[in-house]
Amino acid sequence: MTNPYRPPESRSSHSDERKPIQWRGYLISGGAIVAGIVIVLVIELLGIKGELRNYVLIGLLLIGSLVGSHLVEKTKRNNK
C-alpha cells in the first residue's frame, strides 16, 4: 500500500527540474530604482528648479513607461 502523503516516485526523482529564479525581473526593478535615484541626483546637481524640474520628471516618467510597456509586449511575444 502506498502512502497517500508521499508524492509519486516520478515527481520526486525530478526534483532538480525546478524553475530557475527569474532574475530578469529583479534586475529590471533594481535598475529602475537606481535610475530614479540617479535622475533625482542629476537634477539636484544641475540645479534645475521650479516648474522646469516638474516637466523634466514628468517627461522622464513618460519615457520610462513607454520603454516599460515596450519591454512587456516584447516579452509577451517571445513567450508565445
Per residue in 25-78, pLDDT (tens digit) is 788 788 888 988 888 898 889 888 889 988 888 888 898 888 888 888 888 888
Q: Is the dihedral of CA 33, 35, 39, 44 positive or negative?
A: positive
Distance (Å, whole) CA 12 – CA 30? 35
Alpha helix (H) residue ranges in 2-47 = 9-12, 23-46
Query: Which pTM value belongs to this model?
Result: 0.49
